[in-house]
């Protein structure tokens, strides 16, 4: 199976590092970004298959970043997974209404993260 090109956006460096460690040998080609703006600046060169997007970030938060990504040609339909501690059913429903294909809860299990992402990817591309 070929690598999934995953753009991961999170303002917390330690969480990015844990996710990177968790995903790097699991069939993901990663681009890590520390902000929504960095993701917007770098997305066209990377052309991700899937985007993992933190919800709460300074500046452009996850929902605002998603809104701007959707305005870029060729990223209108790129699947986005929100990554957040806000996982009450109404919150998840809201994130999906914004266009996310799913939500992964923080804190996350680094051993399970690759499987969670791959499962969501397979459901979306089933």
Average per-residue pLDDT for the chain: 95
pLDDT of residue 124: 87
**pLDDT tens track for 84-103:** 999 999 999 999 999 999 99
106, pLDDT greater than 60: yes
Task: State the pTM of this model.
Answer: 0.95
User: Does residue 3 surpass a pLDDT of 80?
Assistant: yes
Task: Please say whether the beta carbons of 40 and 88 come within 8 A.
Answer: no
Q: What is the pLDDT of residues 39-96, one digit of tens each?
A: 999 999 999 999 999 999 999 999 999 999 999 999 999 999 999 999 999 999 999 9
Count the helix, strand and coil residues of the chain and give each as a percent rounded to the nearest 5: 40, 20, 40
* Domains of the chain, each with CATH number or no CATH: 4-64+80-110 (3.40.50.2300)
Query: Cβ contacts of residue 67 below 8 Å, gap of 6+?
Result: 98
């Amino acid at each position: 199976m070929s690598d999934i090109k995953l753009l991961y956006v999170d303002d917390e460096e330690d969480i990015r590092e844990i996710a990177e460690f968790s995903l790097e040998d699991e069939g993901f080609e990663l681009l890590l970004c520390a902000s929504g703006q960095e993701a917007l600046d770098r997305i066209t060169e990377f052309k991700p298959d899937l985007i993992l997007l933190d919800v709460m970030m300074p500046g452009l938060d996850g929902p605002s970043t998603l809104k701007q990504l959707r305005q870029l040609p060729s990223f209108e339909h790129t699947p986005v997974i929100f990554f957040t501690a806000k996982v009450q059913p109404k919150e998840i429903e809201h994130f999906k209404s914004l266009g996310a294909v799913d939500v992964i809860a923080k804190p996350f299990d680094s051993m399970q993260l690759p499987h969670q992402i791959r499962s969501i990817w397979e459901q979306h591309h089933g």
